[in-house]
């Protein structure tokens, strides 16, 4: 909204989060967390009149999968607000989310298993 970052950081937000979520703090969907991955679904959003924030969110996710935390950082909105927006977009079918793949153990053992199996076949 500004070209001058110092002005931005100093001034309070013009559009407050409760206006963006229409007063809702609870997302319509459970299970979203910081590391849930957000995927923009192919489809036309034109039948839906979206708020600028939702439009930006969609645009962001069109570029690839992002986590909820990353989306919030990009939009500079509180995580909770992003969750509300996301669940709205999920309700309209414009966005899907997925639990993150657990990073530490599971892929490693799977991978190892596959490598082992592959090697075993040799």
Partner 1 sequence: MNFVQDPALWYGVAGTCAAAVYVARSRTTVRNLRERNRLLAEDVRMRDDEIDNVVRVLLPALVETGERLKGSLLLHDELRATPYAQNIETVVEMFTTAVEDARDRADHSAKNALKAAMRTLQALAGEQQLAISEMQNNYVDAQLLQDLLAIDHMNSQFGRRAQVIAALCGGWTGRQRAAAPLYDVMRGAKGRIRDYLRVEIRMQSNVAVIGRAVEPVALAVAELLDNAASYSPPHTTVEINFQTVPNGVCVMVDDAGVGMHEEARQSAARYLGATEPVGITRLGHPPQFGFPVIGMLAAQYGFTVSVDTRSPYGGMRAVLMLPSELLTTAVDTEPAPVPAQRRVARVPRAAAGEVRPAAPATTTPVADEGTAALDGELPQRRRRAPLPVDRTHQPAPTDASDRSDAETAGLMGAFLRGTRSGRVPDTDDKGQENR
Judged by beta carbon, residue 24 or residue 91, the one nearer partner 1 is: 24
Cα 110 from Cα 67, distance rounded (Å): 23
Helix (H) or strand (E) holding 62: helix 52-62
- Whether residue 86 contacts residue 97, with contact meaning beta carbons closer than 8 Å, is answered with yes
> Residue 40 phi/psi, 5° resolution?
-75, 130
Judged by beta carbon, residue 40 or residue 88, the one nearer partner 1 is: 40
Of residues 15-54, which lie at the interface with partner 1 (CB under 8 A)?
15-27, 34, 37, 39-41, 45-46, 49-53
Short-list 87, 92, 81, CA closest to 21: 81
Determine if 75 is a binding residue for partner 1 (CB under 8 A). yes
Q: Around 88, how many Cα atoms within 13 Å sit in the side-chain half-sphere?
A: 22
Of residues 77-116, which lie at the interface with partner 1 (CB under 8 A)?
78-81, 83, 96, 98, 100-101, 103, 107, 110-111, 116
Contacting residues toward partner 1, per CB under 8 A: 1-5, 7-8, 10-27, 34, 37, 39-41, 45-46, 49-53, 55-56, 59-60, 62-67, 70, 73-76, 78-81, 83, 96, 98, 100-101, 103, 107, 110-111, 116, 119-120, 122
């Amino acid at each position: 909204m500004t070209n001058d970052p110092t002005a931005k950081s100093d001034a309070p937000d013009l559009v407050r989060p409760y206006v963006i979520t229409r007063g809702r703090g609870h997302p319509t969907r459970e299970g979203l967390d910081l590391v849930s991955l957000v995927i923009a679904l192919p489809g036309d959003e034109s039948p839906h009149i979206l708020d600028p924030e939702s439009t930006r969110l969609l645009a962001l996710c069109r570029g690839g999968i992002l986590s909820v935390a990353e989306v919030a950082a990009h939009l500079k909105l509180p995580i909770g607000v992003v969750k509300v927006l996301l669940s709205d977009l999920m309700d309209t079918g414009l966005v899907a989310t997925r639990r993150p793949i657990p990073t530490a153990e599971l892929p490693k053992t799977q991978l190892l298993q596959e490598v082992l199996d592959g090697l075993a076949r040799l």
